[in-house]
Structure 1
Amino acid sequence: MSFSVGDAIEHLLVDEAGRIWVGHFDENPIGIRRWSATGRPTWMSDDARIPGLFDCHALNVSGTAAWACPYTDFPLVEIRPDRRRRPVRVRENQVRGARAVAVHGDRVAFYGGYGEEQDRLVHAELGEASVEQTDAGLLTLPDGSCPGRRRVAGRGSRIHVQADPFTEWGVLDLSS
């Protein structure tokens, strides 16, 4: 079976129930969508009132929930479509430009940013309505250098980083 989930795809992750989460970038202002394994849309960000959602900068799927940091306002958005009460929770966030996010309990980590902050790693705690930064630094490779060109992905409590020449993945795990 095959089906289209659109174009301008920045992130594509599958949750533990086999549903496909897609985060689009700004050439396709669809935002964030969840699809069944058979290609039926089961949730769309269109009516979720997520502020400044023009580009899904970071997307993480953990269990059956998704977490996102959308451009332009970069709130941390918790998406639990199967929950009747508050299926979407938006927390104010001062971390701009993160390319990956990891969540474990009430702790969160953001990786990336703009310009000199491209290797920034921010630790924070989840509040009722906001994310409170607790620490920030630079992510470095085992040899002490910064990753440079890299691929990143957030998945549950982990941020995966693959630096050029793209032969190995490094993992930051909030649960350890």
Structure 2
Amino acid sequence: MGCSAGTFRVGDGIEHFLTDESGHVWVGHFDQGVLGDRLSEPGIRRWSSAGRPLWEYEAAPGDQPVLECYALNVDHRATWAYPYTDFPLLEVRDGRPTRVRTTPVRYAHGVVVHGGLVAFFGGPGDVHDRLVTGRLTASTVETLETTRLTRPDGTRLGSRRVVCRGPRLYLQEHPGTEWTLFDLARQ
């Protein structure tokens, strides 16, 4: 049985690179890519596994363009993105217009969603382990609680990598030997 592989270019300044159940690739870019490369300019794109562009974010009138994709979550029903500058929560579903919800949360690096609940993880400086849970409304996110996400032993998290899938937030701390899981569905 043979296996073929191919390559294609998805742009510069890649912050997030995730696949969906169809094998399509979702890419979220940071500002150096968005401001310096035509392929990265939309800030968030979906590609077929063969490299054909399938979707890109286009800001509606009155909405801000994506200058940096701070968080990206690819689930089997929807893709969720959280971009700089206004930090809205974008909900992308096949065949539907992108839903934009305003949020009170700034500079999070992870977002997880379960039913009508959402949690944002991270922030700058001393709030790098902040966890803000909220409720989704038609056009906003209403904050329910702000706390800190800690290790199972109660100590604070260190520097880490964040990957989000549906209700699950996976954290890998430096030096990258273990993963910690936060599951919004179990809260």
Please indicate the TM-score interval, normalised by the length of the shorter structure.
Answer: over 0.9
Q: Select the residue among 108, 113, 119 that pairs with 1:103.
A: 113
Partner of 2:66: 53
- 1:64 shift after superposition: 4.6
1:52 to partner: Cα distance? 4.5
Shift of 1:166: 1.2
Paired amino acid for 1:33: R
**1:40 — aligned with what?**
52
Instruction: Identify unmatched segments of 5+ residues in structure 2.
Output: 1-5, 35-40
Identity of aligned residues (%): 52
Pairwise mapping of residues 13-28 of structure 1 onto structure 2 (< 5 A)? Answer: 13-28=18-33
Equivalent residue for 1:154?
A: 164
- Give the TM-score of the pair, scaled to structure 1: 0.94
Secondary structure in 2 matching 1:95: coil
State the 1:146 CA deviation. 1.2
Contact 1:122 1:137 in 2 (8 A): yes
What TM-score, normalized to structure 2? Answer: 0.88
2: distance between equivalents of 1:171 and 1:59?
16
Output the CA distance in 1 between the equivalents of 2:143 and 2:64: 20
Mapped partners of 1:167, 1:94: distance in 2: 34
- The answer to whether the Cα contact below 8 Å between 1:119 and 1:139 also exists between their aligned partners in 2 is yes
* 5+ residue gaps, structure 1: none
Q: Secondary structure, in 3 states, of the residue corresponding to 1:27?
A: helix
| Contact 1:19 1:35 survives alignment (8 Å) | yes
Q: Which residue matches 2:103?
A: 93
Q: Which stretches of structure 1, 4 residues or more, deviate above 6 A after TM superposition?
A: none
Deviation of the 1:150 alpha carbon: 0.8
Q: Is 1:66 the counterpart of 2:79 in the alignment?
A: yes
* Aligned counterparts of 1:83 and 1:48: Cα–Cα separation in 2: 17
Which position in structure 2 is the counterpart of 1:2?
7
Paired with 1:27 and 1:131, the residues of 2 have a C-alpha distance of 28
Q: Tell whether the 8 Å contact from 2:59 to 2:65 is kept in structure 1 after alignment.
A: no
Q: Deviations over 1:42-66 (max 9, x none)?
A: 0011x34352510000000011521
Cα root mean square deviation, aligned? 1.2
